[in-house]
Each structure stands twice: as structure tokens, then as C-alpha cells.
Amino acid sequence: MLIDGVATRTVRADPAAGLIEVLDQTALPHQVRWVVVDTLAAAAHAITTMQVRGAPLIGATAAYGMAVAAGRDASDAGLHAAAATLAATRPTAVNLSWALHRMLGRLLAEPLPDRAIWAWREADAIAEHDVAASTAIGAHGEPLLRRLRPPAGRPASVLTHCNAGWLATVDRGTALAPVYAATDAGLELHVWVSETRPRNQGLLTAWELDQQGVPCTVIADNACGELIRSGQVDAVLVGADRIAANGDVANKIGTYLKALACVDAGIPCYVLAPASTIDIGSLTGAAIPIEERDGDELRVVHGLDAAGEASSVRQLAAEVPVYNPAFDVTPARLITAIVTEHGVAPATTDGVSRLMRGPA
Ligand code: MRU
């Protein structure tokens, strides 16, 4: 997608130098900054600190982290240790373990001297797979947007939560992929962007939509219910960090409330994610590990000061107790449909299994 009119991906690989560069999402939306990842520790750090974030991009970055690590130690023990380090970075997005299993499976089958080269090829293949999946999600989701019937006088208006746009993937996005497909094809759309406290990924969403020229409006998380109830939203589009076998979906904290409001208002709630987000090992959402993050994410607010310099403000004393779950589980019964690169299906055991396999 575009940054200042230039086509850009969130990760750039340089196999000859044994490194990648990632777009630092902790600096956005204020600054476009790239971070060099040239060690296993730097790859783990990038994921843990959310310089890269979003389930598909976490998976792709972990794959490249394995390639970086394989350049130093491609032995069986070295690869297993690298995978364990990366797997420990964040618990909920299953794309992480999906990518690590794929890398391990590919590399352990190769003779030791060839593994470093294969590691870069396989990581590139995972990144390309992600772009293709996002593009296909856009194609499958676009008709759902064309079907919306907004009241006369305004364009179709969708609401999204967190950031499931191109910043959460290698390119194109998941929940926003149909928005880009539809607007590229000339459909007029407006996007309500929920702020997504405490990490404010909604600000990333507003930045990337603005960069692509898609009209959007940021709203406080607490405004979503009222907007949905009062008919100002035609559909909710969200991503996923893990989809259980029965169609329950773990996504950014706050998704559940939006899905509840959709049911009450009678509007669709669509979940869009690559098949690598499906975890059939989690039979229901109850089996999905939910990441709990540092309380300082609520206690301390980050932004720019009056001089335009990066700055932090403490809004709660360090000793104030805080509970900060990063994700919630939306039960399958509240989800209108799930979209993957393989198509659109109901959030049921049968639907999920079709979305995982693709056409027979
Ligand atoms: O904690 P994050 O920012 O890595 O959260 C992941 C997400 O971006 C969202 O939950 C998203 O909807 C799923 S990933 C496309």
C-alpha cells in the first residue's frame, strides 16, 4: 500500500545482508521510521514491543527472524532454540506458531549447509503467501460491501476496530482488504475507526486509510455502541488473532461489545483473516490463550508534546491496580460470517473447516 504515494510493504528483506527492515509501528502515526532486524534477539524484540504487530505480520516477521537466526546457527538445536525464542514473544496470534512450524518443517528437511538459503526462500514464500491471502480476502469481501444498503444521502459506512489493515499484514490487510478492493474499484465508502484503547491501534488505521485516500473518522471506543444503535454503521469489519474450530474468534479487546451491538441493531459483523489464523486445535474460544499486557499501557499515555517531540504523560500512579487483557473472545453465534482467502462461510465448525481447507 502507499506511504506518501509510494508503494510500500511493512517488511523489507535483504538476504545478502542477513537482515530485514520493519516499519516501526511504535513511531506511527507521527513518524515513518524503519528498524533494522539483524539478530534473533532483535526479531523477538520487534514482536514483543509491537514495533511489528497484527497476527499475519507477526507470523511473517517470525519467519524472517528464523532466517536471520539460521544465518548464524542452522543446526537442529539452533533452529529449535530460535523457534522457541520467537514463539515466546506473544501468545494469542496463532499465525506466529503457524509460521514457525512451517519454517522448522522446511529447514529441518534440508542438509545443514543449505538451510540458511532455504530459510530466506521460505520466509519470502510466507510473506508472499500473506500478500496473496490478503488480496483474496479483499476479493471475497468486496461483494459483501457492495451489498450494503445505506440510507439515502450517505455512502456505505463500516466500522472497524484495532488495526487489521495493511500495517497488520505484509500488504493489503485483512478487515480493510475489502475496503481497499472496493474503493480501488470506485465504490464510495466511509470508515468509522474505533480508537482501541489502550494501545490505540485505531490511530494506525486512521493513518493508513488517510494515506490511501479513504475517508474515515476516529471515534472513542465507547462511541461505537451508540453509532451502531442509531443506524450510522452498515457493517462491522474486524480481523482475528485466532479462530477456534467452532467459529469463536479471539480479536482485539472490545470486539465482543461491537459484535453484541451488531446483533441488537441487525447489521452484519464480519471477521476477516487468513486461514493461518484458524487453530483447529482450539475447539472453542475457551481454549485460546489471552495475552495480558503491562498495566502501564493504561497508566501512561504517549504522544507528541507542544513542540512536536515524542512525549509521555502518566495519568495513573504506578500503584493503581490495572487489568489489561489484550484480546477478547467473540462467540461464533454473534458473527455473521468469516472471510478467508478461501471464501466466505458461516462461523460454524463446518464453515471454519471449509475456510481452512479451501476448495476441494
Ligand atoms: O495486539 P495487536 O495490535 O498485535 O493486535 C492484533 C490486531 O491487530 C487485531 O486484533 C487485529 O484485529 C487482528 S490482526 C489483523
- Report d(CA 160, CA 223) in Å as an integer: 12
Q: Quick one: angle between helices 95-108 and 115-146, nearest 10? A: 140
CA of 133 to the centre of ligand 1 (A): 16
Ligand 1 neighbour 176 (Cβ under 6 A): no
Burial class of 197 by CB neighbour count within 10 A (0 to 12, 13 to 18, 19+): middle
pLDDT at residue number 360: 61
Nearest to 272 by CA among 233, 234, 238: 238
Ligand 1 neighbour 162 (Cβ under 6 A): yes
pLDDT digits (tens, 9 = 90+) for 11-68: 999 999 999 999 999 999 999 999 999 999 999 999 999 999 999 999 999 999 999 9
pLDDT digits (tens, 9 = 90+) for 304-341: 999 999 999 999 999 999 999 999 999 999 999 999 99
**Cβ(152)–Cβ(113) below 8 Å:** no
> What is the phi/psi pair of residue 11, to 5°?
-140, 135
Ligand 1 neighbour 285 (Cβ under 6 A): no
User: Would you give the DSSP letter of residue 249?
Assistant: E
CA of 240 to the centre of ligand 1 (A): 7
Atom of ligand 1 nearest to the CA of 327: 10
Helix (H) / strand (E) containing 244: strand 242-244
- Core vs surface per residue 326-337: b (16+ CB within 10 A) or e: bbbbbbbebbbb
Atom of ligand 1 nearest to the CA of 163: 8
User: Would you give the DSSP letter of residue 292?
Assistant: B
- Report d(CA 260, CA 335) in Å as an integer: 9
For 257, the 3-state DSSP assignment is helix
Determine which residue's CA is closest to atom 7 belonging to ligand 1: 54
- 241: annotated active-site residue: yes
Determine which residue's CA is closest to atom 15 belonging to ligand 1: 164
pLDDT tier, 358 (very low <50, low <70, confident <90, very high otherwise): confident
Determine which residue's CA is closest to atom 6 belonging to ligand 1: 54
